[in-house]
């Protein structure tokens, strides 16, 4: 009798685990960059624990701002590849995990973490 009631319970638990989506992987840490706002103010943008494997267009340096971001600093645990254009296009540069950074000369509009 007990085996009959245990089998459906185990099957139900297995189905429930299969239905729960896996968490998306993310780089742990913070990615920072500097930029000049449309109004002309210096600002710092950042991404906290950004998603891995997805292109991220950097806030503040989108199509409404003619000036790209600069001076990126990768303080995440993943490699960050920054791009000169939106949608991870144009020239790119890889920044190593934890300590990767570049000068004001490196212009950025998007990034992908691996």
The CATH number of residue 87's host domain is: 2.60.20.10
> Is residue 101 situated within a structural domain?
yes
> Is residue 15 situated within a structural domain?
no
Residue 20, pLDDT above cutoff 70: no
Nearest partner of 31 among 65, 82, 66, judged by Cα: 82
Residue 11, pLDDT above cutoff 70: no
- Are 76 and 27 in contact by the 8 Å Cβ rule? The answer is yes
> Is residue 19 situated within a structural domain?
no
pLDDT for 4 equals 54
Q: Which pair of structure tokens corresponds to residue 40?
A: 């002309």
For the residues 109-113, what does the mean pLDDT come to? 98
User: The pTM is what?
Assistant: 0.77
> Is residue 16 situated within a structural domain?
no
- What are the angstrom distances between the C-alpha of 90 and each of 57, 98, 113? 13, 24, 16
Say how many domains are in the chain: 1
Q: Which pair of structure tokens corresponds to residue 23?
A: 């968490």
> Is residue 73 situated within a structural domain?
yes
- Which residues form the domain of 47? 29-113
> Is residue 79 situated within a structural domain?
yes
> Is residue 17 situated within a structural domain?
no
Place of tokens 């189905």: 15
Q: What is the spatial distance between Cα 76 and Cα 13, in angstroms, rounded to a whole number?
A: 36
Place of tokens 């009959």: 4
> Is residue 108 situated within a structural domain?
yes
Task: Quickly count: other Cβ atoms within 10 Å of residue 3's Cβ.
Answer: 6
């Amino acid at each position: 009798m007990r085996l009959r009631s245990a089998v459906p319970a185990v099957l139900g638990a297995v189905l429930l685990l299969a239905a729960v989506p896996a968490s998306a992987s993310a780089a742990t840490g913070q990615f920072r960059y500097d930029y000049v706002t449309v109004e002309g103010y210096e600002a710092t943008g950042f991404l906290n624990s950004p998603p891995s494997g997805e292109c991220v267009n950097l806030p503040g340096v989108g199509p409404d701002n003619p000036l790209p971001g600069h001076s990126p600093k990768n303080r995440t645990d993943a490699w960050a590849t920054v791009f000169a254009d939106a949608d991870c296009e144009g020239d790119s540069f890889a920044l190593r995990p934890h300590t990767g950074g570049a000068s004001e000369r490196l212009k950025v509009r998007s990034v992908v973490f691996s």
